[in-house]
Amino acid sequence: MDAMIPQSYRIQRVIKETHDTFTLELKPPDHLGQFIFNAGQFNMLYLFGVGEVPISISGDPSKTETLTHTLRAVGTVTKQMSKLKKGDWIGVRGPFGSHWPVKESIGNDVVIIAGGIGLAPLRPTIYKILSMRQQFGKIILLYGTRTPADILFRRELEKLRSRLDIDIYVTVDHATPVWKGNVGVVTTLIQRSPFDPFNTTAMICGPEIMMRYTISELTKRGVKSENIFVSMERNMKCAVGFCGHCQYGTKFICKDGPVFNYEQIKKLFGKREL
C-alpha cells in the first residue's frame, strides 16, 4: 500500500470530550478489515478539500476493528473536522513513527505524565500496560490540564481510579471553587509520587515546555535520562521523512519519532533554533 495515498475510513462515532476536544471512532475500509498499530504512533488524517494533519492514535491497540483519534479543534483543519458526523468519510494514512517502550519497561515502575491533549497519545499505552499488568511494578499516571472542564477522558479516568493497581493523580492550573482536587502544575506531582526512581520508565507527552520542566523534576528524583521517553511534535507533512518539514537536528520527527528516548535527543531538546 502506498504510504502517500489516504484510505477512506467511515466515521462510526463522534464523542465530544471537552469544549474544544473530540474523539473520532473510525471503521477501517472493508479491504483492510482492521487497523494494527503500536501505542504512540500517529496517522495523517485528511479532510477532503480542506487539508491533512498528523494526529496520534488514542484508542486501544488490541481493538483493531476500530481506529480512534482524539483531536483538539485549534487550526483550520481540526476545526472543520470537529463538525464531522457519524457516516462521514475521512482520509487516513498510517500508522507512522515510533512507539512507547512498553515491552522494554517490563519489570519497572512506569510513570506516565501527560499535559492537556497529551493524554490522548498516551492512552493506548495505558491500555497496553494494563493488559499486561502483572509484568510491571507500580503504574502511575500524572495528568495536568488547564481547568477541571478541560480534563480529557474524565469518566474513563474515574473508572481507572477505581482499579486498585494504578495510581492516578490529576491537577489543574486554574481551579473553580467547586474543584476539590489538586491545583498546580503537573511537575509539582512528581516529587510526591510513590515510584522507585532507579527502577522507573517515564513516558511524557504534552507541551514542550511542560516536558522540559517535567524532565528536570524527574532527573532531580534520580530517574536516568535513558529511562525517560518523550513524544515530540513538529510540523509533519509527508510522515515518511521525505519532505523535511519536521526535521529535528539529524532526525525527522515523523520517521525517527514522535517517541524518542530522551538520552538520544537531550542535546537538541529545548534548542530555540529547532
Residue 34: burial class (beta carbons within 10 Å; 0-12, 13-18, 19+): exposed
Residue closer to another protein, measured from CB, 102 or 215: 215
Residue closer to another protein, measured from CB, 33 or 249: 249
The C-alpha cell at 55 is 494526529
Q: Kindly list the distances between the CA atom of residue 230 and the CA atoms of 33, 45, 160, 245, 265, in Å, as whole numbers in the listed order.
A: 31, 22, 23, 19, 10
Strand bridging mode 259-261 / 228-231 = antiparallel
Q: Give residues in contact with another protein (CB under 8 A).
A: 74, 115-117, 144-146, 150, 171, 173-175, 177, 179-185, 187-188, 191-192, 206-207, 209-210, 213, 233-235
Residue closer to another protein, measured from CB, 83 or 220: 220
The C-alpha cell at 33 is 478489515
Phi-psi region of 153 (alpha: psi -120 to 50; beta: other; left: phi over 0): left
Nearest-approach distance from CB 165 to another protein, in angstroms: 20
Nearest-approach distance from CB 173 to another protein, in angstroms: 5
Residue closer to another protein, measured from CB, 105 or 200: 200
Nearest-approach distance from CB 104 to another protein, in angstroms: 28
Residue closer to another protein, measured from CB, 184 or 249: 184
Which residue type occupies 163? R
What is the C-alpha to C-alpha distance for residues 96 and 253, in angstroms, rounded to an integer?
10
Nearest-approach distance from CB 169 to another protein, in angstroms: 9
What is the C-alpha to C-alpha distance for residues 193 and 202, in angstroms, rounded to an integer?
12
Nearest-approach distance from CB 176 to another protein, in angstroms: 9
Nearest to 59 by CA among 120, 130, 7, 141: 120
The C-alpha cell at 172 is 489543574
Nearest-approach distance from CB 114 to another protein, in angstroms: 11
Residue closer to another protein, measured from CB, 75 or 107: 75
